[in-house]
């Protein structure tokens, strides 16, 4: 158990911090788009999707007349990854596109952590096969740096300077409760060698 003992973990974002960050991002998205017209939020599984749903709810609260369910989708990028042959087999998740489609829409990709940028590259490829959006933007809860591709986020919840050997863990009530049975509280934790 020595491996476990030497791991330190600290909470960098609490549940309230996450909520405030998402509220700000929701307003930023509305401001950048000059309103809710043509907005589609595509969450990347697993944790990007619940974040997209929360953002859509906040956008709907700020812009009356928006149906949050109608502007939210899920975009699976598994089959578009560049490391399929290097990692254990990943089962794909579902891709769900809002009924309006994404052609000529302003698509905001939503993910929990932006790191190498490779997931977002896969997401851009996956998006091309679904249609041709007018604009694609990127919103992430945490940007931890260490980019390996020329990709940046338009909306960031928090910039977290990290070491490459540290791990950033995002826990969300929607995606991380079922496994343990008890309701998980939202938090962002950095784990690393002590």
Partner 1 sequence: MRHLLSTLDLSRDDALAILDTAEQMAAVGEREVKKLPALRGRTVVNLFFEDSTRTRISFEAAAKRLSADVINFSARGSSVSKGESLKDTAQTLAAMGADAVVIRHGSSGAPARLASSGWINAAVLNAGDGTHEHPTQALLDAFTMRRHWARLHGTESTGTDLAGMKVVIAGDVLHSRVARSDLWLLRTLGAEVTLVAPPTLLPFGVESWPCTVSYDLDEALATRPDAVMMLRVQGERMHSAFFPSVREYSRRWGLDDVRLDRLDALGLTDTIIMHPGPVNRGLEISARAADSPRSTVLDQVRNGVSVRMAALYLLLSGENSTERTAEEQPR
Binding site for partner 1 (CB under 8 A): 76, 78-80, 84-95, 125, 129-131
CA dihedral over 145, 137, 184, 60, signed as positive or negative: positive
CB of 178 to partner 1, least distance (A): 12
**CA terminus-to-terminus distance, the chain:** 14
CB of 79 to partner 1, least distance (A): 4
CB of 83 to partner 1, least distance (A): 9
Q: Select 70 or 79, whichever has its Cβ closest to partner 1.
A: 79
CB of 134 to partner 1, least distance (A): 17
CB of 97 to partner 1, least distance (A): 9
Q: Within its chain, how far is the Cα of 162 from the centroid?
A: 18
| Distance of alpha carbon 187 from alpha carbon 180, whole angstroms | 16
Q: Select 11 or 95, whichever has its Cβ closest to partner 1.
A: 95
Contact predicate 80/126, CB 8 Å: yes
Structure tokens at 5: 């003992």
| Distance of alpha carbon 29 from alpha carbon 190, whole angstroms | 27
Q: Select 38 or 125, whichever has its Cβ closest to partner 1.
A: 125
Q: Select 92 or 161, whichever has its Cβ closest to partner 1.
A: 92
Q: Select 79 or 173, whichever has its Cβ closest to partner 1.
A: 79
């Amino acid at each position: 158990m020595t491996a476990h003992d030497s791991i330190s973990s600290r909470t960098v974002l609490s549940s309230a911090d996450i909520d405030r960050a998402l509220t700000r991002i929701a307003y930023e998205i509305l401001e950048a788009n000059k309103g809710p017209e043509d907005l589609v939020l595509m969450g990347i599984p697993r944790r990007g999707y619940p974040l997209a749903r929360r953002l859509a709810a906040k956008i709907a609260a700020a812009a009356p007349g928006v149906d949050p369910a109608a502007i939210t989708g899920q975009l699976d990028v598994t089959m578009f990854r560049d490391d399929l042959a290097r990692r254990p087999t990943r089962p794909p998740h579902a891709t769900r596109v809002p009924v309006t489609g994404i052609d000529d829409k302003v698509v905001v990709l939503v993910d929990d952590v932006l790191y190498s940028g490779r997931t977002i590259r896969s997401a851009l490829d996956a998006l091309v096969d679904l249609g041709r959006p007018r604009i694609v933007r990127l919103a992430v809860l945490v940007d931890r740096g260490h980019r390996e591709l020329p990709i940046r986020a338009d909306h960031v919840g928090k910039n977290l300077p990290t070491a490459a050997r540290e791990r950033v863990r995002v826990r969300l009530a929607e995606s991380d409760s079922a496994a343990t049975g008890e309701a998980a509280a939202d938090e962002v934790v950095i784990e690393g060698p002590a």
